[in-house]
């Protein structure tokens, strides 16, 4: 079992299978991103091998992410393989939705139980401004396709930015309610060097909550995923509201997760640089899992107590982009 120095049990991995994406969201990537050369990225077989090793160490939940996971060639094969690992009880993914029309049914068949879809705006011009190259209609069609093939617990994720899309809180919530989707608002995190100062666009989830409480009765839920999210039931509706508040709420004491980049870097915390490079081990020991197991077990000693995001800093807390670490 994976237990860190603060007695937290790690049973959840977020695995990024590509740093590439068909969007260039302004808070997540630079406009002219340089992507990794192919041989620096884990093969899908290497990804699967790692998941199997983590499964033997007590991990039962896997989130496949990126970059945009569904733009990786043959990504479906990986979902199908992970879906068959008996120890993995929960296989989920985070996507921008652009490829869901094509893949939703196959993901369902592979055993994906939940999809988080990022959607920051319902207005074409704003959506384009945020994603730079994204197509809102493709995402809306993707959401529809996922619902049509039986995903009944889709969650929308919206990063709110002051002056950009903070006037869409109501529209986004209404959109979710009409479709019986859950929705989470995410506070923007200082990851990677972007084209704006995070302090300028920051909007606290506390403000979002106060705003929505004027419209709805919101009942706090005990539900926790071990991350910095709190959930509320929107009374009289099927939808739940989530607030992912890494700035104003810090639930690091319950953290149950680690992240693996597509380069095989095991990041112990989203808000710190501490990592263990697993790819050289995977390649040096193609037929022996023990060195990799040992490296993962030892990594528990360096998992930080908590992240430390400070909006007053001029520099980002962490220089790597979320698309590098995996969202």
Q: State the residues that interact with ligand SAM by CB under 6 A.
A: 21, 27-28, 65-66, 68, 94-96, 118, 157, 159, 186, 188-189, 191, 322-323, 327
Residue 326's nearest CA partner among 3, 2, 19, 1 is 19
**Tokens linked to 124:** 């074409």
Give the DSSP letter of residue 180.
T
Between residues 87 and 207, which has the closer beta carbon with respect to ligand SAM? 207
Calpha distance 238→47 (Å, rounded) = 36
What is the nearest approach in angstroms of ligand SAM to the Cβ of residue 195?
12
CB 314 within 8 A of CB 277: no
Between residues 2 and 191, which has the closer beta carbon with respect to ligand SAM? 191
What is the nearest approach in angstroms of ligand SAM to the Cβ of residue 286?
29
Residue 14's nearest CA partner among 220, 270, 300, 217 is 270
Residue 64's nearest CA partner among 85, 37, 36, 33 is 85
Question: 83-104 in b/e burial notation, b at 16+ Cβ within 10 A?
Answer: bebeebeebbbbbbbbbbbebb
Between residues 57 and 202, which has the closer beta carbon with respect to ligand SAM? 202
Between residues 2 and 92, which has the closer beta carbon with respect to ligand SAM? 92
CB 140 within 8 A of CB 177: no
Total residue count of the chain as it appears in this document: 327
What is the nearest approach in angstroms of ligand SAM to the Cβ of residue 118?
4
Between residues 118 and 299, which has the closer beta carbon with respect to ligand SAM? 118
What is the nearest approach in angstroms of ligand SAM to the Cβ of residue 214?
25
What is the nearest approach in angstroms of ligand SAM to the Cβ of residue 25?
6
Q: Which residues contact 44 (CB under 8 A, 6 or more apart)?
A: 17, 72, 74, 75, 77, 78
**What does the DSSP assignment read for 52-104?**
HHHHHTT--EEEEESS-GGGSTTHHHHHHHHTT-TT--EEEEEE-STTHHHHH
Helix axes 44-56, 290-299, angle to 10 degrees: 70
Between residues 165 and 323, which has the closer beta carbon with respect to ligand SAM? 323
What is the nearest approach in angstroms of ligand SAM to the Cβ of residue 72?
11
What is the nearest approach in angstroms of ligand SAM to the Cβ of residue 186?
5
Between residues 68 and 168, which has the closer beta carbon with respect to ligand SAM? 68
Q: β-pairing, 275-277 with 90-95?
A: unpaired
Between residues 110 and 318, which has the closer beta carbon with respect to ligand SAM? 318
What is the nearest approach in angstroms of ligand SAM to the Cβ of residue 117?
7
Calpha distance 208→213 (Å, rounded) = 9
């Amino acid at each position: 079992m994976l237990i860190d120095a603060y007695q937290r049990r790690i049973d959840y991995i977020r695995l990024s299978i590509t740093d590439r994406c068909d969007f260039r969201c302004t808070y997540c990537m630079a406009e002219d991103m340089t992507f990794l050369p192919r041989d620096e990225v884990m093969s899908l077989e290497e990804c699967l091998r790692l998941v199997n090793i983590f499964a033997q160490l007590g991990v039962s939940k896997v989130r496949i992410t990126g970059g945009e996971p569904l733009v990786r060639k043959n990504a479906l094969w990986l979902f199908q393989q992970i879906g068959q690992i008996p120890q993995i009880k929960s296989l989920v993914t985070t996507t921008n939705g652009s490829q869901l029309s094509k893949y939703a049914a196959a993901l369902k068949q592979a055993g994906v139980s939940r999809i988080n879809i990022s959607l920051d705006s319902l207005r074409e011009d704003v959506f384009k401004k945020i994603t730079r190259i994204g197509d809102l209609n493709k995402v809306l069609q993707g959401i529809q396709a996922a619902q049509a093939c039986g995903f009944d617990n889709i969650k929308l994720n919206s990063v709110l930015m002051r002056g950009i899309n903070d006037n869409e809180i109501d529209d986004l919530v209404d959109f979710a309610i009409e479709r019986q989707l859950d929705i989470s608002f995410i506070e923007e995190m200082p990851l990677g060097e972007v084209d704006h100062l995070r302090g300028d666009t920051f909007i606290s989830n506390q403000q979002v909550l106060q705003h929505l409480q004027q419209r709805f009765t919101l009942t706090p839920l005990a539900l926790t995923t071990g991350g910095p999210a709190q959930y509320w039931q929107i009374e009289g509706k099927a939808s739940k509201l989530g607030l992912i508040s890494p700035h104003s709420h810090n639930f690091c004491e319950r953290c149950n997760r680690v992240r693996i980049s597509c380069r095989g870097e095991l990041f112990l915390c989203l808000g710190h640089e501490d990592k263990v490079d697993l790819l050289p081990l995977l390649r040096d020991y193609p037929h022996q899992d023990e060195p990799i197991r040992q490296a993962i077990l030892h990594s528990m000693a360096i998992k930080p107590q908590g992240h430390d995001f400070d909006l007053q800093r001029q520099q980002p807390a962490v220089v790597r982009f979320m698309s590098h670490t995996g969202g």
